[in-house]
Amino acid sequence: MASDAAATADTFPKLLIRNARLYGARPSMRHKDLGIWQTWTWKEVEELVRAYATGLSRLGLKRGETIAIVGSNRPKLYWSVMAAQMLGAVPVPVYADAVADELSFVLAHADVRFAAVEDQEQIDKIQSVLDRLPKLELMFYDETRGLRDYDHAKLRAMDDVIADGRQALAADPKLRDWLDAEIAAGKGSDPSIILYTSGTTGASKGVVLSGERSIRAATDTVKFDKLTENDVALAYLPLAWVGDHYLNYAQGLVAGFCTACPENAETAMFDLREIGPSFYFAPPRTLEVLLTRMMIRMEDASPLKRKLFHYFLGVARQYGERILNKQAVPLKGRLLYWLGNVLVYAPLKNVLGLSRVRVAYTAGEAIGPDLFAFYRSIGLNLKQLYGQTEAFLYVTAQPDGAIYSDTVGPACPNVDIRIAENGEVLFKSPGMFIGYFKDAAKTAEVTTPDGYVMTGDAGYFDEKTGHLKIIDRAKDVGRLNDGTMFPPKYIENKLKFFPDIREAVAYGDKRDFVTVMLNIDLTAVSSWAERNNVSYGSYQELAGHPLVYAMMEKHVAEVNSAMAADKMLAGNQIKRFLILHKELDADDGELTRTQKVRRGFVADRYKPLIDALYSGAREADISTEVTFEDGRKGTLAARVRIADVQPVAVSGNLGKAA
């Protein structure tokens, strides 16, 4: 297998050359541009990247230097990573939707001299903070639109850099030998890439990963999921996120499969249907959005179609998981499921673009049991993994046939996990990071004397299954004043299981009771409003509507009922809640670029609302600074209503800590 051969290649450029030799005519990358899918073979990609690397070298990029990669999933940005690695330089991907301040922090901290960017938007953002980037010398851009009249003293088109490198290689055969020597000189222990963390708990940290460790980890998981050169993946995850670099870049090079790039972020779900991937990753939020849109469409279907749909979903819930796991199912159940597959499940997966998926993963946040069970019941082999940037993603993963909605699986191959006395999850893994860039003290802080990495997450191994369960961030787990353990993320995830709720932030540590702030899901709630003749003029108006509050109160009550039945968590029932007047937004600093709540920042920004939740007030005024798409800032003021919820009665001292 290709993954066995990967053991002899300790850098990604060496893997690229191997793939060009083994799979020369097979597709390596696809990209939808102007509505048309374009394809490059492994041999074509190798030649392109060689020319690109030569062109970059002629412009001055040297071994050990850093180069920023800014933009969305486009072939030339992936090739920028490969070309830099060929020269022994270190790529530093940055989130495409990062605002100028975030961009300037990463580019300045990483000491970049060069930046490979997608388009005019990214160039404009970088140019707006050039005074903070004295080391930046040149930018290479992919999309030429809008840039004709720009001063090109510090700008180059990627196509021109590649063309220059191609001409140089053709004119001087010795250059090819020189480039081969550069590739051979690359050591597996050298830094391969720097991935900045999302900054949930503070400033982002640059996680330095090596080639040999990254390849070793990817080789293990390629074998684990039996990925081959025949697989296809859709690359729509942020380039700067470890998930994209692992799932698409590293595994793609190890297995030799084809990576397809959508036309843009807005068309990704439509492009998913056209490309029909066999290997797929989606965070829970994406799966929720897909299901929500589908349910909204079903509300507009004919009564017969709705009846058939819901009937066969019931059949799927009863038999689907057992059939997927190849367990015994009565003949009647198999026949009903077969009919349901013909009439509902197969067409549904086709509409979602999941017909050909052989392996699917979700991670990043806890996924609701109902949501997880829905996709598995219709025949999608959806599994969960748990990982971190410092581990180069995988720490645990669910093996086929041993899938549980409330666990994240056992340790991945060659990964060692132990639980510290305080409940924190620690690990050693093949892909473990070298350290944080320019921060040896922080590296030492998260590493134990015997070489384990502290994840910052609290968890334990389930006695029944032996799989890992993650409770919350260790530092976020608190106590109510009566001693009840308070896991905010657990409560928040229960609320987010409802398609009407986009985000939730729970409070209760060192308090008498639990309260939450909610964000409604605009797509789901606006569809509900249309069906129920509820008129509104803005998100703020819809969020404050009495009927929306009544709907949220029902959801909170359901969560309270679930809490009341849990011995450890019964004391965490929600007594008061409010619906925020605006969506939490990464541009406003309230979320990370991977859509995780920056809990401390939100607590400071919305302190007047939190104080009102605990003072007994019925409403509270708030004025919030917002950032518009063009970078301008404004202020949004509102009077937010606060609602009370009657807790579910529990007997005895179920809510007390053990």
The tens digit of pLDDT for each residue in 288-303 reads: 888 877 877 887 788 8
pLDDT in tens, 117-162: 999 999 999 999 999 999 999 999 999 999 999 999 999 999 999 9
Confidence of residue 651 (pLDDT cuts 50, 70, 90): low
User: Which strands make up the sheet holding 191-196, listed edge to edge?
Assistant: 191-196, 206-210, 435-436
Q: Which of 270-274, 461-465, 650-654 has the lowest mean pLDDT?
A: 650-654
Mean pLDDT, range 484-495, rounded to an integer? 87
Measured between alpha carbons, how far is residue 359 from residues 283, 288, 519 in Å?
Answer: 14, 18, 32
pLDDT score for 654: 41
Supply the mean pLDDT for the chain.
91
Q: Is the pLDDT of residue 566 over 80?
A: no
Distance CA 62, CA 89 (A): 6
Does the pLDDT at position 626 exceed 50? yes
Which pLDDT score, from 0 to 100, does residue 214 have? 97
Average pLDDT over residues 375-397: 95
**Residues 412-433: what's their mean pLDDT?**
94
Kind of pairing between the strands at 90-94 and 66-70: parallel
Q: How far apart are CA 419 and CA 424, in angstroms?
A: 6
Q: Reply yes or no on whether the pLDDT at 192 is more than 80.
A: yes
Distance (Å, whole) CA 469 – CA 246: 23
Amino acid letter, residue 497: F
- Number of Cβ within 10 Å of residue 180's Cβ equals 13
The DSSP element (H or E) to which 124 belongs, if any, is helix 120-127
CATH architecture of 478-644: 2-Layer Sandwich (3.30)
In one letter, which amino acid is 276?
Answer: G
H/E run at residue 531:
helix 522-531
CATH class of this structure's domain 2-278: alpha beta
Contacting residues for 509 by C-beta, under 8 A, at least 6 apart: 478, 479, 480, 486, 488
Contact 136, 112 (CB under 8 A): yes
What is the rounded average pLDDT of the residues 189-201? 85
Q: Residues 6 or more apart from 81 whose CB is under 8 A from it?
A: 69, 91, 93, 193, 249
Give residue 655's pLDDT: 37
Give the three-state DSSP class for 123: helix
Residue extent(s) of CATH 3.40.50.12780 domains in the chain: 2-278, 284-355+357-473
Q: pLDDT at position 453, please? A: 96
pLDDT at 462: 87
Q: Sorting pLDDT into bands at 50, 70 and 90, what band is 497?
A: confident
Across 25-44, b (16+ Cβ under 10 Å) vs e yields ebbbbbbbeeeeeeebbbbb
Q: Is the pLDDT of residue 2 over 70?
A: no
Question: CATH 3.30.300.30 in the chain, residues?
Answer: 478-644
Report the pLDDT value the prediction gives residue 51, as an integer from 0 to 100: 98
Out of 3.40.50.620, 1.10.1660.10, 3.30.70.20, 3.40.50.12780, which CATH number does the structure's domain 284-355+357-473 have? 3.40.50.12780
Q: For the stretch 508-526, what's the b/e string if a residue is b when 16 or more beta carbons lie within 10 angstroms of its beta carbon?
A: beebebbbbbbbbbeebbb
- In the chain, the N- to C-terminal Cα span, in Å, equals 51
Flag whether pLDDT at 255 surpasses 50.
yes
The residue-averaged pLDDT of 525-531 equals: 89
How far apart are alpha carbons 361 and 278 in whole angstroms? 12
Q: Looking at residues 332-345, what average pLDDT do you find?
A: 95
pLDDT at 12 over 80: yes
- The sign of the CA dihedral 244, 245, 246, 248 is positive
Residue 80's pLDDT band (cuts 50, 70, 90): very high
Maximum CA pair distance of the chain? Answer: 85
State the pLDDT confidence band at 631, using cuts at 50, 70 and 90.
low
Whether the pLDDT of residue 202 is over 70: the answer is no
Residue 190 has pLDDT above 70, yes or no: yes
Categorize the per-residue pLDDT at 592 as very low, low, confident or very high, splitting at 50, 70 and 90.
Answer: confident
pLDDT of amino acid 485: 85
DSSP state of 368: P
- The pLDDT-based confidence of 236 (bands split at 50, 70, 90) is very high
pLDDT tens-digit profile of 24-70?
A: 999 999 999 989 999 999 999 999 999 999 999 999 999 999 999 99
CB 563 within 8 A of CB 572: yes
- Does residue 557 have a pLDDT over 90? yes
Q: What is the pLDDT of residue 658?
A: 30
Cα 94 to its chain centre, rounded Å, is 14
| Burial (CB count <10 Å: 0-12, 13-18, 19+), residue 401 | exposed
